[in-house]
Amino acid sequence: MTESRRLVLLLGARGAAAVVFGVLTLVWPQLTVLALAWVFGAYALVDGAVLTGAAWRHRRERWHGLAYAAAGVLGIVVGLMTAWWPGVTALALMIMIGAWAVLTGGAELWAAVRLRHQLRHAWFLQASGAVSVVAGALLWLRPDAGAVAIALVLGVYALITGGIWLAAAWREYRKQGARQSQSWTRPTTPGARVAH
Protein backbone atom coordinates (compact mmCIF):
# COMPACT_ATOMS: atom_id res chain seq x y z
CA MET A 1 0.00 0.00 0.00
CA THR A 2 1.37 3.40 -0.98
CA GLU A 3 1.95 6.20 1.54
CA SER A 4 -0.73 8.28 -0.16
CA ARG A 5 -3.27 5.47 0.22
CA ARG A 6 -2.35 5.07 3.90
CA LEU A 7 -2.89 8.80 4.41
CA VAL A 8 -6.34 8.61 2.81
CA LEU A 9 -7.28 5.69 5.09
CA LEU A 10 -5.95 7.48 8.19
CA LEU A 11 -7.84 10.67 7.44
CA GLY A 12 -10.98 8.79 6.47
CA ALA A 13 -10.95 6.63 9.61
CA ARG A 14 -10.48 9.61 11.92
CA GLY A 15 -13.12 11.61 10.10
CA ALA A 16 -15.67 8.78 10.09
CA ALA A 17 -15.15 8.06 13.80
CA ALA A 18 -15.58 11.74 14.68
CA VAL A 19 -18.73 12.11 12.57
CA VAL A 20 -20.33 8.99 14.08
CA PHE A 21 -19.53 10.27 17.58
CA GLY A 22 -20.86 13.73 16.74
CA VAL A 23 -24.11 12.38 15.32
CA LEU A 24 -24.68 10.13 18.35
CA THR A 25 -24.21 12.96 20.82
CA LEU A 26 -26.41 15.38 18.88
CA VAL A 27 -29.20 12.87 18.18
CA TRP A 28 -29.31 11.87 21.87
CA PRO A 29 -28.25 14.98 23.81
CA GLN A 30 -30.16 13.64 26.85
CA LEU A 31 -27.47 10.99 27.33
CA THR A 32 -26.64 10.37 30.97
CA VAL A 33 -23.14 11.18 32.12
CA LEU A 34 -22.35 7.45 32.20
CA ALA A 35 -23.60 6.89 28.64
CA LEU A 36 -21.74 9.97 27.41
CA ALA A 37 -18.56 8.75 29.08
CA TRP A 38 -18.88 5.36 27.35
CA VAL A 39 -19.57 6.90 23.94
CA PHE A 40 -16.72 9.35 24.26
CA GLY A 41 -14.40 6.65 25.60
CA ALA A 42 -15.10 4.47 22.56
CA TYR A 43 -14.43 7.38 20.22
CA ALA A 44 -11.19 8.34 22.00
CA LEU A 45 -9.98 4.72 21.89
CA VAL A 46 -10.68 4.39 18.15
CA ASP A 47 -9.05 7.74 17.39
CA GLY A 48 -6.07 6.90 19.61
CA ALA A 49 -5.63 3.49 18.01
CA VAL A 50 -5.68 5.00 14.50
CA LEU A 51 -3.09 7.62 15.46
CA THR A 52 -0.89 5.07 17.23
CA GLY A 53 -0.91 2.92 14.11
CA ALA A 54 0.09 5.97 12.07
CA ALA A 55 2.90 6.70 14.56
CA TRP A 56 4.25 3.17 14.07
CA ARG A 57 4.25 3.59 10.29
CA HIS A 58 6.05 6.94 10.62
CA ARG A 59 8.46 5.80 13.34
CA ARG A 60 11.50 6.63 11.18
CA GLU A 61 10.29 10.23 10.77
CA ARG A 62 11.12 11.55 14.22
CA TRP A 63 8.82 14.55 14.63
CA HIS A 64 6.00 13.24 12.45
CA GLY A 65 5.89 9.94 14.33
CA LEU A 66 6.20 11.68 17.69
CA ALA A 67 3.21 13.93 17.01
CA TYR A 68 1.04 10.96 16.02
CA ALA A 69 2.26 8.92 19.00
CA ALA A 70 1.57 11.69 21.54
CA ALA A 71 -2.00 12.27 20.32
CA GLY A 72 -2.65 8.53 19.95
CA VAL A 73 -1.45 7.55 23.41
CA LEU A 74 -3.39 10.42 24.95
CA GLY A 75 -6.58 9.26 23.23
CA ILE A 76 -6.12 5.68 24.40
CA VAL A 77 -5.38 6.74 27.99
CA VAL A 78 -8.41 9.05 28.17
CA GLY A 79 -10.62 6.40 26.54
CA LEU A 80 -9.54 3.78 29.08
CA MET A 81 -9.98 6.21 31.98
CA THR A 82 -13.60 6.86 31.02
CA ALA A 83 -14.22 3.09 30.77
CA TRP A 84 -12.60 2.36 34.14
CA TRP A 85 -14.35 5.22 35.93
CA PRO A 86 -18.07 4.43 35.57
CA GLY A 87 -19.10 6.73 38.40
CA VAL A 88 -17.60 9.82 36.79
CA THR A 89 -19.43 13.09 37.49
CA ALA A 90 -20.32 15.62 34.82
CA LEU A 91 -17.66 18.01 36.18
CA ALA A 92 -14.90 15.38 36.16
CA LEU A 93 -15.91 14.21 32.68
CA MET A 94 -15.89 17.77 31.37
CA ILE A 95 -12.42 18.44 32.83
CA MET A 96 -11.10 15.17 31.36
CA ILE A 97 -12.56 15.72 27.90
CA GLY A 98 -11.50 19.36 27.92
CA ALA A 99 -7.92 18.35 28.76
CA TRP A 100 -7.98 15.75 25.97
CA ALA A 101 -9.27 18.28 23.44
CA VAL A 102 -6.76 20.99 24.39
CA LEU A 103 -3.77 18.63 24.48
CA THR A 104 -4.74 16.84 21.27
CA GLY A 105 -5.36 20.16 19.54
CA GLY A 106 -2.09 21.51 20.86
CA ALA A 107 -0.22 18.47 19.49
CA GLU A 108 -1.85 18.97 16.09
CA LEU A 109 -0.99 22.68 16.02
CA TRP A 110 2.59 21.92 17.07
CA ALA A 111 2.89 19.28 14.32
CA ALA A 112 1.41 21.67 11.75
CA VAL A 113 3.98 24.36 12.60
CA ARG A 114 6.92 22.01 13.04
CA LEU A 115 6.23 20.00 9.88
CA ARG A 116 4.76 22.73 7.69
CA HIS A 117 7.50 22.28 5.06
CA GLN A 118 7.25 18.47 5.08
CA LEU A 119 3.50 17.89 5.19
CA ARG A 120 1.15 18.52 2.30
CA HIS A 121 -1.75 18.44 4.73
CA ALA A 122 -0.58 20.94 7.37
CA TRP A 123 -3.68 23.10 6.76
CA PHE A 124 -6.09 20.56 8.20
CA LEU A 125 -3.85 19.87 11.18
CA GLN A 126 -4.06 23.60 11.90
CA ALA A 127 -7.83 23.68 11.45
CA SER A 128 -8.48 20.53 13.48
CA GLY A 129 -6.09 21.62 16.22
CA ALA A 130 -7.69 25.05 16.51
CA VAL A 131 -11.20 23.54 16.74
CA SER A 132 -10.01 21.09 19.41
CA VAL A 133 -8.45 23.81 21.55
CA VAL A 134 -11.57 25.99 21.28
CA ALA A 135 -13.84 23.06 22.23
CA GLY A 136 -11.68 22.19 25.22
CA ALA A 137 -11.62 25.81 26.36
CA LEU A 138 -15.42 26.04 26.08
CA LEU A 139 -15.79 22.99 28.30
CA TRP A 140 -13.42 24.47 30.89
CA LEU A 141 -15.13 27.87 30.87
CA ARG A 142 -18.43 26.34 32.01
CA PRO A 143 -17.61 23.94 34.85
CA ASP A 144 -21.28 23.93 35.88
CA ALA A 145 -22.53 22.62 32.54
CA GLY A 146 -24.45 19.36 32.63
CA ALA A 147 -24.31 16.29 30.43
CA VAL A 148 -26.61 17.83 27.79
CA ALA A 149 -24.40 20.90 27.37
CA ILE A 150 -21.30 18.69 27.19
CA ALA A 151 -22.97 16.49 24.57
CA LEU A 152 -23.92 19.48 22.43
CA VAL A 153 -20.42 21.01 22.53
CA LEU A 154 -18.81 17.65 21.81
CA GLY A 155 -21.27 16.86 19.04
CA VAL A 156 -20.63 20.11 17.19
CA TYR A 157 -16.88 19.79 17.76
CA ALA A 158 -16.81 16.20 16.47
CA LEU A 159 -18.84 17.04 13.36
CA ILE A 160 -16.58 19.97 12.49
CA THR A 161 -13.34 18.05 12.99
CA GLY A 162 -14.76 14.96 11.31
CA GLY A 163 -15.75 17.08 8.34
CA ILE A 164 -12.24 18.56 8.18
CA TRP A 165 -10.63 15.12 8.20
CA LEU A 166 -13.05 13.69 5.62
CA ALA A 167 -12.51 16.71 3.37
CA ALA A 168 -8.76 16.23 3.66
CA ALA A 169 -9.13 12.51 2.86
CA TRP A 170 -11.23 13.33 -0.22
CA ARG A 171 -8.72 15.95 -1.36
CA GLU A 172 -5.82 13.52 -0.98
CA TYR A 173 -7.82 10.81 -2.77
CA ARG A 174 -8.49 13.14 -5.70
CA LYS A 175 -4.82 14.13 -5.88
CA GLN A 176 -3.89 10.48 -5.96
CA GLY A 177 -6.36 9.87 -8.79
CA ALA A 178 -5.02 12.88 -10.69
CA ARG A 179 -1.44 11.59 -10.40
CA GLN A 180 -2.50 8.18 -11.69
CA SER A 181 -4.40 9.68 -14.64
CA GLN A 182 -1.40 11.84 -15.54
CA SER A 183 0.80 8.76 -15.63
CA TRP A 184 -1.69 7.14 -18.03
CA THR A 185 -2.00 10.19 -20.30
CA ARG A 186 1.72 11.05 -20.52
CA PRO A 187 2.94 10.31 -24.07
CA THR A 188 5.83 7.86 -24.34
CA THR A 189 7.26 9.45 -27.52
CA PRO A 190 7.12 13.01 -28.87
CA GLY A 191 4.67 12.00 -31.58
CA ALA A 192 2.56 9.69 -29.47
CA ARG A 193 -1.15 10.43 -29.03
CA VAL A 194 -2.48 11.12 -25.56
CA ALA A 195 -4.44 8.12 -24.24
CA HIS A 196 -7.99 8.55 -22.96
Mean pLDDT of successive 10-residue segments in the chain (196 residues)? 73 89 85 78 87 76 74 87 73 83 86 69 81 89 72 88 89 76 55 44
Total number of domains in the chain: 1
Q: Are 100 and 78 in contact (CB under 8 A)?
A: yes
Beta-carbon contacts of residue 143 (< 8 Å; ≥ 6 apart):
91, 94, 95
DSSP 8: H
- The SS3 assignment for 138 reads helix
In a domain, 73, yes or no: no
In a domain, 194, yes or no: no
Domain of residue 168 covers 3-32+86-179
Report the distance separating Cα 80 and Cα 77, nearest Å: 5
In a domain, 100, yes or no: yes
Q: What is residue 193's predicted lDDT score, i.e. its pLDDT?
A: 44
What distances in angstroms separate CA 131 from CA 29, 40, 57, 159, 179, one per listed residue? 20, 17, 26, 11, 31
Q: What is residue 27's predicted lDDT score, i.e. its pLDDT?
A: 86
Q: What is residue 195's predicted lDDT score, i.e. its pLDDT?
A: 42
Q: What is residue 192's predicted lDDT score, i.e. its pLDDT?
A: 46
Find the DSSP H helices in the chain.
Answer: 3-27, 33-57, 62-84, 90-114, 122-141, 147-185
Q: What is residue 63's predicted lDDT score, i.e. its pLDDT?
A: 66
In a domain, 47, yes or no: no
Report the distance separating Cα 108 and Cα 126, nearest Å: 7
